Structure 1
Amino acid sequence: MSVEIELRAARVRYGPLEALHGVWLPVPAAALTVLLGRNGAGRTTALRALAGAVPLHGGRVVWRGVDVSGLHAYERARRGLCFVPDLRAVYGALTVAENLELAAVDGEFGRALDGYPALRPLLARRAGALSGGERRMLALSRALLSPARVVLVDEPTQGMSPDVAARTYDLLRGLDAAVVIAEQRLPPSLWRGRSPVIVHELRRGSVVFSGEPSELRPPRGPESTPL
Structure 2
Amino acid sequence: MALTWASALAMQVRPEPRLLGLAFAGTLFVYTVDRLRDLERDRVTSPRRSAFVERFEPWLRMQVAVAALVALALGLGAGMRVVVVAGTVAVFGLLHRRLKHLLLAKPIYLTAAWAGVVVGMPAAHDPAARHVVWVALIVAGTVTSNVVLSNLRDDEGAAARLGHRRALAVAAINLLPVAALALLGPVAVRPLVLLPLFMAGDGAGFRPSEHYGALAVDGALLAGALGAAGWASAAAT
TM-score by length of 2: 0.28
The answer to which structure has the higher strand fraction is: 1
TM-score by length of 1: 0.29
The answer to which structure has the higher helix fraction is: 2
